[in-house]
Amino acid sequence: MRHAVAPAESVENNYFAVTNLLKICTHCERLSKKDLGVRIPRPLGNGPSRFIPEKEILQVSKVDARTQSIFEDAFAALGRLDNISLVMGFHPQYLGSFLRTQHYLLQMDGPLSLHYRHYIGIMAAARHQCSYLVNLHVNDFLQVGGDPKWLNGLDKAPQKLQQLGELNKILAHRPWLLTKEHIERLLKAEEHSWSLAELIHAVVLLTHYHSLASFTFGCGITTEIHCDGGHTFRPPSLSQYCVCDIANGNGHANHHDDPLGNQEMCGEVEVLMERMKQLQECRDDEEASQEEMATRFEREKTESMLVVTAEDEECVPSRDISRHFEDPSYGYKDFSRRGEHVPTFRVQDYSWEDHGFSLVNRLYPDVGQMLDEKFQMAYNLTYNTMATHKDVDTSMLRRAIWNYIHCMFGIRYDDYDYGEINQLLDRSFKIYIKTMVCSPEKTTKRMYESFWRQFQHSEKVHVNLLLMEARMQAELLYALRAITRYMT
């Protein structure tokens, strides 16, 4: 039987619906809640990102019909439009591919049950202390009928999921240590064993959420108002703005609008473009020997170890997060610390295109194709612009970013000259890349603002898409190689 709603209750419910969508100033709040006597939640953040002005993000969907259409489809499928999607909306082509892949991994037919998929998402996001993604999938886990007891800690989950903990931590922090023995232990665990198809599904989910945690921290994604940690009932401070301010064009200043900062960084883009031009000319004039190319890779790999992430400070996870994974002290370590040596992973011997793609597609049909489209979309995405410059070929820069990330993971492309990386990526950019890829929970707004100061926010989001996908592919390469070695 459907219950009737009293008029006063109906008004109150409608009011909550409005305040869930809009941020309002004290004056507007007093007018809106007059005589209702209710407490009004107010968002803690200013829009979907702590790094990017809200009005710039919201403007994207207003002017781009394709973005608007993708947002509508996502809302219809999920009943929500999360802040990650809003920020990715700067690049609608990529967003469409991302949402299709994620929807397939989480909701379509596959080897793993729905609640297992969301629990694995929780485990993966927790490794990087990403409370945003953890909370998102805690809610989804419960909605699909997951056992609430599992949320009390990994030790309360089934033994089969607990055994995935070792794979989770190695993939997240030191994927080069993964061996076929790790795979064998999961596939031959008697009554708690995984099938090959289940394991492929789990590996794709783990790598997806490790890399998505990088994007979440790298873009300063904020918690939605209806979620824990996304709202407060305290009145706003004088420094904050109401929707009536936004409507009048007011808002927080940012470094892109700072004339002094732009003067200091004047010429940054032109210098980078000139270096790209010179490198192209050098390519045309002479080609380095294979021995020299190998030497340059080893040099860059060694130098990447000297790049310190975010003052190298320690981030201690809260109990709410750490209960979802084991061994909290386990984190990213550079290859050669304490004399540890890891052989170089040569893409010519095992690549995504020639090996990983077919293995995933064989054991989890269609997913290999979706992942490949997503990798290609991020890698090839270009608007032929750099800041205010048009008709620019950015392929050299995009390749340098992608290959630098893989270099940090020991992955080498024989046909690439790693000497180009130091010419194109400055130290502040390298610090940002290494932090976001290896220890994303340490990413700060200051780091985001310190690189490419003359570039648009949309271009920095594009960089973060590259970092996310390059990281995911690097993890997948190590995991799929170990599975292939087990199978052969």
Q: What is the tens place of the pLDDT at every residue in 108-125?
A: 999 999 999 999 999 999
Spatial separation of the C-alpha atoms in residues 113 and 109, rounded to whole Å: 9
| Catalytic residue check, 282 | no
Which range among 64-73, 174-183, 312-321 shows the weakest confidence by mean pLDDT?
A: 312-321
Is pLDDT above 50 for 105? yes
CB atoms within 10 A of CB 451: 19
pLDDT score recorded for residue 206: 98
Is pLDDT above 50 for 473? yes
Range from 281-285, 292-296, 410-414 that averages highest in pLDDT: 410-414
pLDDT score recorded for residue 287: 76
pLDDT score recorded for residue 295: 86
Asked if residues 330 and 169 have their Cβ atoms less than 8 Å apart, the reply is yes
Is pLDDT above 60 for 329? yes
Q: Which two tokens stand for residue 83?
A: 């802040």
Is pLDDT above 80 for 323? no
Is pLDDT above 70 for 240? no
pLDDT score recorded for residue 12: 41
Alpha carbon distance, N-terminus to C-terminus of the chain: 61
Bridge partners of 316, per DSSP, are: none
Angle at 131 between CA 127 and CA 136, to 5 degrees: 110
474-487 confidence digits (pLDDT tens): 999 999 999 999 99
H-run or E-run covering 411:
strand 411-412
pLDDT score recorded for residue 328: 66
Provide the 3-class DSSP secondary structure of residue 147. coil
Is pLDDT above 80 for 365? yes
176-230 confidence digits (pLDDT tens): 999 999 999 999 988 899 999 999 999 999 999 999 999 999 999 999 865 555 4
278 compared with 65, residue with greater pLDDT = 278
pTM of the model: 0.82
- Does residue 249 lie within any of the structural domains? no
- Does residue 56 lie within any of the structural domains? no
- Does residue 38 lie within any of the structural domains? no
422 compared with 1, residue with greater pLDDT = 422
Q: pLDDT confidence of 62, banded at 50, 70, 90?
A: confident
421 compared with 242, residue with greater pLDDT = 421
Residue ranges making up the domain that contains 128: 67-223+267-487
What percent of the chain lies above the pLDDT cut of 90?
Answer: 60
264 compared with 97, residue with greater pLDDT = 97
Provide the 3-class DSSP secondary structure of residue 354. helix
Asked if residues 94 and 104 have their Cβ atoms less than 8 Å apart, the reply is no
Bridge partners of 42, per DSSP, are: 232
* Lookup result for tokens 């809009």: 22
Q: What's the mean pLDDT in 259-272? A: 66
Is pLDDT above 70 for 450? yes
Spatial separation of the C-alpha atoms in residues 252 and 448, rounded to whole Å: 17
Q: Which of 25, 28, 130, 438 is catalytic?
A: 130
111 compared with 263, residue with greater pLDDT = 111
Ramachandran region of residue 153, left (φ > 0), alpha (ψ -120 to 50) or beta? left
Q: What is the CA radius of gyration of the chain?
A: 24
In the chain, helix, strand, coil percent, each to 5? 65, 5, 35
H-run or E-run covering 104:
helix 92-107
Spatial separation of the C-alpha atoms in residues 462 and 439, rounded to whole Å: 19
Number of structural domains, the chain?
1
Asked if residues 278 and 401 have their Cβ atoms less than 8 Å apart, the reply is no
Q: pLDDT confidence of 460, banded at 50, 70, 90?
A: very high
- Does residue 291 lie within any of the structural domains? yes
Q: What's the mean pLDDT in 41-69? A: 79
- Does residue 228 lie within any of the structural domains? no
pLDDT score recorded for residue 410: 92
35 compared with 302, residue with greater pLDDT = 302
Is pLDDT above 60 for 488? yes
CB atoms within 10 A of CB 104: 17
303 compared with 238, residue with greater pLDDT = 303
Alpha-carbon dihedral 81, 87, 91, 92, rounded to 10 degrees? 10
pLDDT score recorded for residue 322: 58
CB atoms within 10 A of CB 455: 20
Spatial separation of the C-alpha atoms in residues 459 and 482, rounded to whole Å: 35
The mean pLDDT of the chain is: 82
Q: Which two tokens stand for residue 81?
A: 């439009």
- Does residue 215 lie within any of the structural domains? yes
- Does residue 119 lie within any of the structural domains? yes
Q: What's the mean pLDDT in 29-34? A: 54
Q: Which two tokens stand for residue 60?
A: 């994207």
Spatial separation of the C-alpha atoms in residues 346 and 324, rounded to whole Å: 34
Spatial separation of the C-alpha atoms in residues 110 and 197, rounded to whole Å: 9
pLDDT score recorded for residue 200: 98
Q: What's the mean pLDDT in 415-419? A: 93
Strand 345-346, strand 411-412: pairing = parallel
- Does residue 135 lie within any of the structural domains? yes
